[in-house]
Structure formats: structure tokens, C-alpha cells
Amino acid sequence: MLTTGFNLWPIARNCRTSGCALLLMGVSRYNGNGRLIIGARSLHNGPGGWYPDDEQIVVKRRTSSKAWLKAHRDDPYVQRAQREGYRSRACYKLLELQVKDRLIRPGMTLVDLGSAPGGWSQVAAGLLKHRGRVVASDILPMDSLPDVTFIQGDFTEQTVLDQIVDALEGQPVDVLLSDMAPNMSGLTAVDQPRAMYLVELALDMARRVLAPGGAFVTKVFQGEGLDTFLGDVRHSFGKVLTRKPGASRPRSREVYLVARDFQGR
């Protein structure tokens, strides 16, 4: 289904076709070169309802949007997520990082920034095996998950930050996760500064709440400002690795930083 508008959750909720895909179109424009720039979010109908996909898109007119929808439906990670009951294909990025880096163990306290639709929180809670705590936050709504406390709002606002801290109940954070990304315009000169701003906010949050020796995992985009940010991260962590999970689309500039052994601000 392809449609335009903003408040389309009722339409999505009423569509019951398994595996059906919905593309929410926001404000769009032509940039003069035949490219239609769309602020868009895709949704797939998985177990428990509709869930947004984890990437924004730029498409070329209607034919390309249809091609993107087909590619999305045929994506093996999308299909696997639907079969295995995960909320998004992004789950497999964290699962791969877990295999490589052994980040999460039962008994830990975690914060998940940019958590909607809940894929990373779902994985993290499963790895904790009912022993530990996950506090998730996003400006978008997120359906509830067992063993996850969700706080909707902008964590850079003091009232929301206070709610996150209160939900931790005095527990230092062992791992801070951030899969945040801005709404992409398709213009690197615009998108890259926005993305860097978000990861800088996530790093500031990590420095505030992480326990000594804690870990910080964040999505970043290759481009201007990343090298400077990497240097900043290395000032606070003993070990910093760059990962490109298999579930991350090859054409995407996204990579993940895994920073361990928090040394303090």
C-alpha cells in the first residue's frame, strides 16, 4: 500500500494482510534533477501489528518507490524478522554485535536511545533473561515490551532526562545503546551534520550515566565530522571498534561504534 499524509496509524492498524507493506509519505518535493525527495517511513505487518522499518529513503518518482517496496518485501532480514517475531530488521544488527563483542549479560542495566519500534530493546531484554533492566526512550511511541520501561519524549529535555534517571532507580548503566538517526533528506550536506549532532548528544548522555568500565554502542554515518567524533570517544573509553553488521545494507553509510571500558568524562 502506498499513500500520503501524516496520521496514518489507524489505516495501518486496520490492514491485516500478513507481510503487507505501508509507506508513509510526509512532505515531498522535486529537487530539479528528477529526484523526488521524500520524508518517508516504511512499515511492515509483523507479529503483534505494524512496525516501522529502521531506515529512511530517497526515491525516484513513483516507479522507484514501487521498486523500493518490492526490495523491502524481498529483504531476507525483513522476512526473517517476521518469521522470528522481531520488531524490525535492525534486531539482527544488535544480535551480530552481541556475538562479536559480548556486550550484554544477565544482571546488567541498559539504556536504549531512539528505541522505537523496539527492536533493540526486544533483543536486549531477551539477552538479560529477566535479570536486569532496560530503560528505553524515543520521541515516537513504542508498544510495550516485557521487562522494558519506555519513556516517550526528547531525552535532551530535562524533564525527560529526569524520567530516565528516575527509572534507573539509582543503578549505574552498564551499556548505553543508540540506534538514532535523523529524518534523511537525501542531501549529505544537510543529513550528516544532523546525524553527528545526535551521536554527540548520545555520547554526552553516556558520559552522564555509564558506570566505570561501561560500554557505549551507537550508529554513526561515515562522512564529515566522524573522525573528530571518534577522537572524542577515545578520550573517554579504553577501546573503540567500528563495526558494519551484515544486516546493515551495503549501500548505507551507517556503521556502528562499539566503545568499551568507560574511563570517565
Longest dimension (CA), the chain: 55
What phi and psi values does residue 103 have, to the nearest 5 degrees? -80, -35
**Residues 80, 83, 85, 87: is their CA dihedral positive or negative?**
positive
SS3 40: strand
- The grid cell for 44 is 511492515
**Which one of the listed residues 129, 219, 239, 244 is annotated catalytic?**
219
The rounded distance, in Å, linking the Cα atoms of 136 and 234 is: 25
Distance of alpha carbon 155 from its chain centroid, rounded? 15
- The grid cell for 205 is 548522555
**In terms of DSSP bridges, do strands 49-52 and 148-152 run parallel, antiparallel, or are they unpaired?**
unpaired
Contact 57, 38 (CB under 8 A): yes
Active site residue 219: yes
**Residues 185, 183, 228, 242: is their CA dihedral positive or negative?**
negative
In eight-state DSSP terms, residue 18 is: T
Please list the residues that pair with 111 across neighbouring strands.
135, 176
Point out the residues that are catalytic.
Answer: 219
